[in-house]
Structure 1
Amino acid sequence: MYVLVMAYGETRQARIVRALRSAESVSVADLSRALGASEVTIRRDLAELEQAGVLRRVRGGAVSAMLRGEGLPFAMRELERAEAKARIAAAAVARVSDGESVVLDGGTTGSAAARCLVERRLTVVPLALSEFGALAAAPGVSLLLPGGTVCAGESSLVGPMTEQNLAQLRLDTMLLTCCGFDPRRGVTAYDLQDAAVKRAAMAASARTIAMVDSSKFARTAMAVVCATAAVDMVITDVDAPEDVVAALRADGIEVQCV
């Protein structure tokens, strides 16, 4: 039996996903006890998560359907640590001054940051169509949408055209998201094309602020984006491991925990 620690504000399905990340398999009985829900409710949750491609139901429970190192679908990642991501996004946006040009990375924390930018006066280069949609009607935001291929299920822009468009720009701030963040192994992403776009956006920007919820410090994805030393500032949540925060600060990286 595994122990499932509940984060405040997390949905029940997000907790199930988190359990699968650490245990690879879960039982209906254990989930029912850990989450305080009936077994009927848990089975319904598992059925919905199976439809989302996250797991495969087996007798008495479920096993993960995700490949090793593979990212969860966007809709499921939005459920993970949503309140922490919202705080991180707000703190990152607060570091941006009106009049700046900002490239906004894709991902769930990037989407949260887009919602925080609506009332600001900025030039924004969104790297996901969902962010473009969130900011399209913002009166003070001037949008510059790069070309590229839309990544299915993510709405993010990838490919040579996106990279070339970014190379033609000189921007103030990159709001970076990632799939893994490790002081030794660097900043990583699940997708090679996504990693290449992140590097192009960083190269076009005078500074990079990484928005990293604490769960990312325990992960390393396949595609290397950069060394952590290439990041100017990290904004994370209060659950970030103290040793990681200390290591980043020792390397001269400013870290804000919110």
Structure 2
Amino acid sequence: MLVAERHKKIVELVNEKLSIRVTELSKIFSVTEETIRRDLEKLEKENLLMRSHGGALSIDKDQGETSYLEREITNAAEKKVIAVEAVRSIEVGDQIVLDASTTAWYVAKELEDIPLTVLTNSIKVAIELSKKEQIKVISTGGILLAQSLSYVGPLAERSLGMYHVNKAFISCKGVHLEKGLSDFNESQALLKKQMIDIADETILMVDSSKFGTRAFSQIAPVSKIHSIITDSNIDEQTKKQLEEKNINVTIAN
């Protein structure tokens, strides 16, 4: 990876996660921590982020939802393999809920045309599934968030409350072992909490960069999750701690 490309990705990660550690960046980009510190020093001088003790903080003034187009290209390879793994746990006749994450959209793309019922607040997911005749799609409706092409708000919440599903497939911005799951957008966080509440089983689909971080709005404790699908860059200590909490961790290859 070229230095300029690494710098661009660092800024994207910092703005997405609000804060990130030097050790995490070093692992993500396979360079030394000293190299990352030099990168952060340069990016701070360019007013693209702010350095903190052991890491960096976002100075992006708009901490709302990242646009769908931006999210589509962020960690796309990891999201695709996670989605492929998630689809393996979906069986004929299942009733599932998919959130408005890009990983959920990849799940919709990977799903075969089999008898299923899918509840979602995502326009992109609904459009993708409309191509598959055997899949029954239920949209929550609600207030449209243009950035994420999804529905939120009281109508979406009431709609979710009318259903029960076998499995919920969700993603989020932060996974903290003590503070739980979190997201930037409060309305999305409320819906994801409700998705967890109406499901017998919740599968969290997150790439490894999300672990150890926190976003603005709390979704639920980690204990509410039954299993996690992530990529091979997850820290072994984090994986062990999750498994000690009786959460099954699957590494997508």
Residue of structure 1 equivalent to 2:104: 110
Structure 2 residue runs without a partner (length 5+): 19-28, 30-42, 50-58
Match of 2:9 among 12, 15, 18: 18
Residue of structure 2 equivalent to 1:149: 143
* Superposition map of 1:68-107 within 5 A: 71-107=65-101
Paired residue secondary structure (1:153): coil
Residue of structure 2 equivalent to 1:238: 232
Give the stretch that moved more between structures: 116-125 or 188-197: 116-125
Match of 2:211 among 203, 207, 217: 217
Match of 1:190 among 184, 194, 208: 184
Residue of structure 1 equivalent to 2:197: 203
Q: Higher relative contact order by CA 8 Å / sep ≥ 6: 1 or 2?
A: 2
Residue of structure 2 equivalent to 1:53: none
Give the stretch that moved more between structures: 72-81 or 231-240: 72-81
Paired residue secondary structure (2:132): coil
Paired residue secondary structure (1:78): helix
What displacement does 1:71 show?
Answer: 4.7
Indicate conservation of the 8 Å contact 2:208/2:231, yes or no: yes
1:180 aligns with 2:180: no
Indicate conservation of the 8 Å contact 2:68/2:149, yes or no: no
Q: Deviations over 1:34-67 (max 9, x none)?
A: 9xxxxxxxxxxxxxxxxxxxxxxx9x95625623
Q: Give the TM-score of the pair, scaled to structure 2.
A: 0.78
Paired residue secondary structure (2:159): helix
Q: Deviations over 1:127-164 (max 9, x none)?
A: 20011111112022111111211112111111011111
Distance 2:225 2:2 in 1: 31
Match of 1:254 among 236, 248, 252: 248
Task: State the superposition RMSD in angstroms.
Answer: 2.5
Paired residue secondary structure (2:139): coil
What displacement does 1:108 show?
Answer: 1.2
Match of 1:227 among 221, 225, 228: 221
- Provide the aligned length of Structure 1 versus Structure 2: 216
Distance 1:199 1:62 in 2: 36
Match of 1:63 among 28, 36, 48: 48
Q: Deviations over 1:150-190 (max 9, x none)?
A: 11211111101111111111111100111111111100010
Q: Give the TM-score of the pair, scaled to structure 1.
A: 0.77
Residue of structure 2 equivalent to 1:135: 129
Structure 1 residue runs without a partner (length 5+): 7-11, 25-33, 35-57
